[in-house]
Every structure is written in C-alpha cells, then in structure tokens.
C-alpha cells in the first residue's frame, strides 16, 4: 500500500492555511493510504521556542488532527522527538547532502533573514531532517501546501543520492501532493504575503481555534480593493486580495474557482464577506470547539501520542537498521553460548 507522511510544526497559531493547504487534505486521503501524521517538534526548535509553549502547541496540533477528522487508530499520530530514528537518519542523510543544495533553499533565506551568520545549524539542516522524516517510513506520497515544494524536491534528490551511492532501491522517491484550490492561502492584511503563524498581526490569519465573532471580525477587516468582484477568473489577475478571498471561499465550500467567481460576479465585497463569514464559521466552528475540548483533556491527547509513538518506532527502527546495514555500520551482537 502507498504510504503518506506529513507533518505540522508545533509553533502556535494553527491557521486556515495549515488547514486548507494540509490537514483537510489528509482527512480525505486517510481512506486510501497508510498514513503517518507527525507533530514535528524537532523542527519547531530550529527557531527559539519557549518550553511550556512548545508542550502546549504539541498537544494543540495533535488535537487539531483529531478534531479535523483524522482517525488515530487507522493513522499513526505522534510527535517526532519520541522516535529517535528521525534525528539519526537525518545525520546519515546530512553527510551526503551538498551545501550547494541547502544554499538554494528559499525558506532558510527567509527565516534567517539578514542574520544569516547567526542562524543555527538546525535551521540550515531543516530540509535534511524533513527528508529523514519522509524516508524513514519509505513514504511514497507527501501532502503539503505549495510552500513545501522545494523541500520535497530536495527530499527526492537526497533519496536518489542515497540509492545511487549504495546501489540500492531502499527509498522510494516521494511524490508531493499539492491539492485543492487553497495550496497557498495568503494573509488577510496583504494578498501578496503568505498566511503564516509568525505574522505579528493576528488579523492576518484565521486561527483554527478562533470563535465565530473573531472570524467575523477578521473577515470583515480583511483588505480588499475598491472594485466589485469580477465576472471571470481572468478578472482576478492583479487583484491578490480578491483572488485570495475567492480561493478561500472555493476551498471551504468544496466548489471550484470558476463556480465561485460565477456565483459572486459583480457583487460588492461587503456582501461577499458576509457569506464568507457564514461559511468559515460553519466549517471551522465545530473543529475549533473540538480542539478546545481535546486540549482540555491532555491525558487523552497524550495517550494518542504515546500509542502513535509505539507504532511509529516499530517501523522506524526496522528501516533505520536497514540504512545502517547498507551504510556499513557494524552492529555487534554477543553470541549466547
């Protein structure tokens, strides 16, 4: 069976982009794939983190997976640091990843910013750890948002390098799955910037736990332009805020872009926004409420994570042993007499 691996960083403020670009697609895919969904806490410490906030966010992301509809029995849900093989495989893969490949990664450039010399080795090696996450389970498919495409291309290159170097076909080359109409949800304050957990303005994003009033306020305050909505998809050209809101509506309603544009052709933003508020509240409201309920039951969430860690470790240890064997690591065993 084809296997999916994907993950979210527990860095706070899970938002509509994480939901529409990733988590919602996983819910649909779990029927047809063997699925492993990780909370990537080792990735979360590539930028400064507060320990208590990290623990809280880890439970919150687990709660989001379950509240969105991922079944913790048929899928494996766990946090990365509970499976030591992720870090071990990352080391092996890092030894065969040229610096030139890492230097091309746009996410590192964005996150390191002007302080490049001060950026940590972990931030630089982030994509190698991500490749290890995927290859450790021999995942064949990786559903993510558009922003992760470059990292996945790197993961494929690393898998190919390992296979060629050691003359093996151990790792399948993982396929990115960038699905739906909201593969890159933009900020509500600036249609040219990605909706992000780290944006200092909470008005730039709809969080998965926002209540109905907050969602309404954020949508009503979302930046627009002075023109009515266009009557064709081509009319969205050069209107990033209109395009973003239409794409969000299309994704939340499960309809296409064309159909959504046709429905609101010539409408004023004020009327369209009211419909968007109703839809966003209808979709996110129950998920946010269930997330809050689960976060309030940490023992239950921890039990899900512990069960997931046990199952993930069973696969990971077996595959890491294969890697070490191929690479030539001696695994001494004392014979019993």
Applying CB under 6 A, does 145 fall inside the site for ligand TYM? yes
Q: Whose Cβ is closer to ligand TYM: residue 62's or residue 142's?
A: 142
Applying CB under 6 A, does 85 fall inside the site for ligand TYM? no
Which ranges of 47-202 would DSSP assign to H, the alpha helix? 51-68, 85-94, 99-103, 106-112, 121-136, 149-166
In the block, tokens 């399948």 appear at 172
Per the annotation, the verdict on 223 as an active-site residue is no
Q: Whose Cβ is closer to ligand TYM: residue 125's or residue 145's?
A: 145
Reading the block at residue 81, the tokens are 């640091």
Distance CA 323, CA 310 (A): 20
Residue 189 neighbours by CB under 8 Å, 6+ apart? 199, 201, 203, 204, 222, 223
Per the annotation, the verdict on 194 as an active-site residue is yes
Q: Which of 55, 111, 138, 184 binds ligand TYM (CB under 6 A)?
A: 184
Q: Which of 64, 128, 135, 195 binds ligand TYM (CB under 6 A)?
A: 195
Q: What angle do CA 178, 183, 185 make, to 5 degrees?
A: 165
- Binding to ligand TYM by CB under 6 A, coded x per residue (else -) over 207-226, reads --------------------
Per the annotation, the verdict on 197 as an active-site residue is yes
Q: Give 106's Cβ-side CA count (13 Å radius).
A: 7
Applying CB under 6 A, does 125 fall inside the site for ligand TYM? no
Give Cα separations from 286 to 208, 273, 314 (angstroms).
Answer: 10, 20, 34
Closest CA to 197 of 25, 63, 60, 87: 60
In the block, tokens 């508020």 appear at 277
Question: Restricting to residues 18-47, which ones interact with ligand TYM according to CB under 6 A?
Answer: 18, 21-22, 40, 43
Q: How many residues bind ligand TYM (CB under 6 A)?
A: 24
Applying CB under 6 A, does 142 fall inside the site for ligand TYM? yes
Single out the catalytic residue among 193, 194, 218, 292.
Answer: 194
Q: Which of 4, 12, 17, 108 binds ligand TYM (CB under 6 A)?
A: 17
Applying CB under 6 A, does 144 fall inside the site for ligand TYM? yes
Applying CB under 6 A, does 6 fall inside the site for ligand TYM? yes
Would you say 279 and 245 are in contact if contact means Cβ atoms under 8 Å apart?
no
Q: Which residues bind ligand TYM (CB under 6 A)?
A: 5-9, 17-18, 21-22, 40, 43, 130, 133-134, 142, 144-145, 147-148, 183-185, 194-195
């Amino acid at each position: 069976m084809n296997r999916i691996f994907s993950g979210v960083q527990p860095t706070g403020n899970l938002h509509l982009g994480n939901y529409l670009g990733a988590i919602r697609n996983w819910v649909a895919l779990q029927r047809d794939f063997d699925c492993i969904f990780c909370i990537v806490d080792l990735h979360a410490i590539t930028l400064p983190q507060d320990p208590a906030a990290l623990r809280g966010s880890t439970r919150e992301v687990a709660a989001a997976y379950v509240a969105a509809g991922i079944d913790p029995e048929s899928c494996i849900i766990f946090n990365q640091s509970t499976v030591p093989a992720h870090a071990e495989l990352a080391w092996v893969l890092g030894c065969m990843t040229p610096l030139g490949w890492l230097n091309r990664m746009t996410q590192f450039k964005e996150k390191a910013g002007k302080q490049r010399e001060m950026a940590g080795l972990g931030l630089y090696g982030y994509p190698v750890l991500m490749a290890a996450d995927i290859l450790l389970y021999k995942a064949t498919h990786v559903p993510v948002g558009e922003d992760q495409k470059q990292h996945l291309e790197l993961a494929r290159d690393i898998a190919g390098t390992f296979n060629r170097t050691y003359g093996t076909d151990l790792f399948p080359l993982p396929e990115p799955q960038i699905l739906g109409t909201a593969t890159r949800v933009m900020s509500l304050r600036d249609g040219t910037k990605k909706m992000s957990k780290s944006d200092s303005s909470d008005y730039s994003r709809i969080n998965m736990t926002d209540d109905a009033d907050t969602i309404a306020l954020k949508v009503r305050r979302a930046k627009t332009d002075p023109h009515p909505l266009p009557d064709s998809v081509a009319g969205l050209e050069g209107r990033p805020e209109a395009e973003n809101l239409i794409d969000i509506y299309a994704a939340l309603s499960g309809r296409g872009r064309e159909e959504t544009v046709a429905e609101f052709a010539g409408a004023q933003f004020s009327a369209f926004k009211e419909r968007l508020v109703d839809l966003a509240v209808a979709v996110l409201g129950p998920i946010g409420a269930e997330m809050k309920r689960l976060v309030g039951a940490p023992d239950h969430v921890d039990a899900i994570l512990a069960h997931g860690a046990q199952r993930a470790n069973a696969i990971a240890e077996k595959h890491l042993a294969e890697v070490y064997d191929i690479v030539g690591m001696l695994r001494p065993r004392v014979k019993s007499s």
